[in-house]
Amino acid sequence: MQGDYKAGQQRIEWADNSMPVLASIRQEWAESRPLAGVRIGACLHVTTETANLMRTLVAGGAEVALCASNPLSTQDDVAAALREVYGVPTFARRGEDREAYYRNINLVLNTRPHLTMDDGADLVNTLHGDRRDLLQGVIGGTEETTTGVIRLRAMEEDGYLEYPIVAVNNALTKHMFDNRYGTGQSTIDGILRATNHLIAGSVFVVVGYGWCGRGVASRARGMGADVIVVEVDPLRALEAVMDGYRVMGMDQAAREGDIFLTVTGNLHAIRGHHFALMKDGAIVANAGHFNVEIDLAALGDMAEEHRQVREYVEEYRLPGGKRVFVLAEGRLVNLAAAEGHPAMVMDMSFANQALACKWLLEQKGALEKRVYDVPVQIDREIARRKLQSMGIAIDELTPEQEEYLRSYRQGT
């Protein structure tokens, strides 16, 4: 179904109000045109915030084509506005099946991009698989998310990666804000829109205590939940303990939880025997990139009945009558049932994306086939502009303090 492009345009403009850093880059680039003549193939969640990134790349002179990085996250009105108003070829439709998803990735690749922009590395993977003929023309790429960076590092280690990619996720102005406060808020938003469940007084199990897990746990606690953290890494588990959460194994958490949220980036964090231990009415959702964290095949095998009971809510009835409710088919609940992260944090993530593209072009020929971090100067510049946009001035070191930091002779 074609989305309503006027509604999409209005929502894109609304998001732009909260994306001042990206807007400042767009304004500068309309003059300097650093991306003139560059073709960019992007595979991102098709949201209002992504639309503002596309507008920025176009203002910089790039020719951009866009497809979705998840079959359920596309906002059809935004896709329509991108096509009709902003002239960005956008190959995406909410609810597309796997075949359409990869067909759309291939349509973007058909534009023979010089730069790739990925969220989860599906575009890069397809390029390194069926479309190797296009690799020669690629200068570099960027990657938005933790899961994508993990895949790319594995490719690099295997000697399989064919061009340099900037791990936007690793910028501090990305993961400290987007992963933590963005995922924290938008995940709760998705769970609430899907269920209207009261968080206060609920036992809320967060599986995975990376930046996203930390964010979800803190927002759930802020709304009055009793938060349990499940984690396999001893350092992270210890951090969760000292952050004041109950920490335990999944077998015990499965018995206690009312709401379960996976953010591990790994396979089957919730498995068949865990469902068997859950209370009647348990709600299970995922905010990790891929829909592999909840073993839905096992749940399907165990269930006697399975039906949709509300938009984005599926009920699985187990032998004996116990029910487990799964949200958004185990896909990113924050993007499927809500609108993804607020523009305020995507502003910094996408400023990193834009400036990483410019940096890759400046470094053309000088980089290896590796995963690179965003240069620290870019990270700090984005933080500086963000503070400025918020009207917050901070102090500078005095010359005496700078000298002190450079010296090693002064002691007790």
Tell me which residues touch ligand ADE (CB under 6 A).
Answer: 44-45, 47, 49-50, 182, 335, 340-341, 346
**Distance of closest approach, residue 288 Cβ to ligand ADE, in angstroms:** 12
- Neighbouring CB atoms inside 10 A of 324's CB total 26
**Distance of closest approach, residue 196 Cβ to ligand ADE, in angstroms:** 22
Of 126 and 353, CB closest to ligand ADE:
353
Nearest to 352 by CA among 175, 115, 106: 175
**Distance of closest approach, residue 135 Cβ to ligand ADE, in angstroms:** 26
Of 247 and 346, CB closest to ligand ADE:
346
Of 45 and 83, CB closest to ligand ADE:
45
Of 140 and 182, CB closest to ligand ADE:
182
Residue whose C-beta lies closest to ligand ADE: 340
Helix axes 48-59 and 76-84, enclosed angle (nearest 10): 20
Of 17 and 401, CB closest to ligand ADE:
17
Nearest to 8 by CA among 86, 62, 61: 86
Burial annotation 13-28 (CB, 10 A radius, 16+ → b, else e): eebbebbbbbbbbbee
**Distance of closest approach, residue 219 Cβ to ligand ADE, in angstroms:** 15
Of 47 and 147, CB closest to ligand ADE:
47
Asked if 353 and 53 touch (Cβ cutoff 8 Å), the reply is yes
| Measured CA distances, 101 to 8, 71, 283 (Å) | 21, 6, 28
DSSP E strands in 144-200: the ranges are 165-167
**Distance of closest approach, residue 66 Cβ to ligand ADE, in angstroms:** 11
The one-letter amino acid at 140: G
Of 341 and 385, CB closest to ligand ADE:
341
Nearest to 169 by CA among 250, 91, 265: 265
The two tokens of residue 42 are 């992007």
**Distance of closest approach, residue 345 Cβ to ligand ADE, in angstroms:** 8
Asked if 139 and 364 touch (Cβ cutoff 8 Å), the reply is yes
Of 18 and 125, CB closest to ligand ADE:
18
**Distance of closest approach, residue 374 Cβ to ligand ADE, in angstroms:** 17
**Distance of closest approach, residue 404 Cβ to ligand ADE, in angstroms:** 41
Cβ-proximal residues to 371 (8 Å cutoff; 6+ apart), any chain:
143, 149, 152, 153, 156, 161, 164, 165, 166, 167
Instruction: Output the furthest CA–CA distance in the chain (Å, rounded).
Output: 74
